[in-house]
């Protein structure tokens, strides 16, 4: 648990900087998979939802938690699966592009 709010704030600020650094390297080509993938990651709120749904007594708050689990799981599972579907198409393309002789070379990895 986070004992001190200032620790949490420190983590927040550092993580934001990390995020800016990492995300800036993603090429526009992959911006849609980036959105759906990061979207799935934001479903991490599922962890909080599980805690809320799993409390001792079944009360209004555990039903709210249940609803949150459902929504967050759709977010997580849907997000990762659809990202995977998209990225598989980009991957397949490399092979298809490589067969065409002498055109444009293989510009990947830049």
Partner 1 sequence: MRAQAIQLAYLLAAVLFTLGLHALSSPRTAPRGNALAAVGMLVAVVATLLMQEVVSLALMLAGLALGSALGALLALRIQMTAMPQMVALLNGFGGGASALVASAELLDYAREGVLPEGIVSVAVVLGVLIGGITLTGSLVAYAKLQELMPGAPVAFRGTNALNLLLLGASVVLGVLVVMDPLELPVYAVLAGLSLLLGVLFVIPIGGADMPVVISLLNAYSGLAACATGFVLGNSGLVISGSLVGASGLILSKIMCDAMNRSLLNVLFGAVGSGSVAGAGAGPTASVKGYTPEDAAVIFGNSRSVIVVPGYGMAVAQAQHAVRELANALERQGIQVRFAIHPVAGRMPGHMNVLLAEADVPYERLVEMDEINPEFPETDVALVLGANDVVNPSARTEKGSPIYGMPILDVDKAKHVFVIKRSMSPGFAGVQNPLFFNDNTMMIFGDAKKTVLAIVEAIRELE
Residue ranges in 75-104 that form contacts with partner 1 under rule CB under 8 A: 75-94, 96-97, 100, 103-104
| Contact flag: residue 27 with partner 1 (CB under 8 A) | yes
Instruction: Provide CB contacts within 8 A for 19, sequence distance 6+.
Output: none
Alpha carbon distance 88, 83 (integer Å): 9
Smallest gap from residue 28 Cβ to partner 1 (A): 6
- DSSP 3-state assignment of 3? coil
Contacts (CB under 8 A) with partner 1, residues 39-58: 39-56, 58
Q: Using N-to-C axis directions, what is the helix angle for 31-42 and 60-99, rounded to 10°?
A: 160
Contacts (CB under 8 A) with partner 1, residues 59-78: 59-62, 64-78
């Amino acid at each position: 648990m986070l004992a001190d709010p200032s620790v949490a704030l420190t983590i927040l600020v550092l993580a934001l900087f990390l995020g800016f650094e990492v995300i800036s390297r993603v090429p526009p080509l992959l911006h849609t998979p980036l959105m759906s993938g990061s979207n799935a990651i934001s479903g991490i709120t599922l962890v909080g939802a599980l805690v809320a749904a799993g409390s001792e007594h079944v009360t209004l708050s555990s039903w709210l938690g249940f609803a949150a689990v459902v929504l967050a799981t759709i977010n997580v599972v849907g997000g990762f699966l659809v990202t995977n579907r998209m990225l598989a198409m980009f991957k397949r393309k490399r092979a298809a592009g490589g067969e065409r002789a002498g055109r444009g070379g293989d510009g990947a990895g830049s």
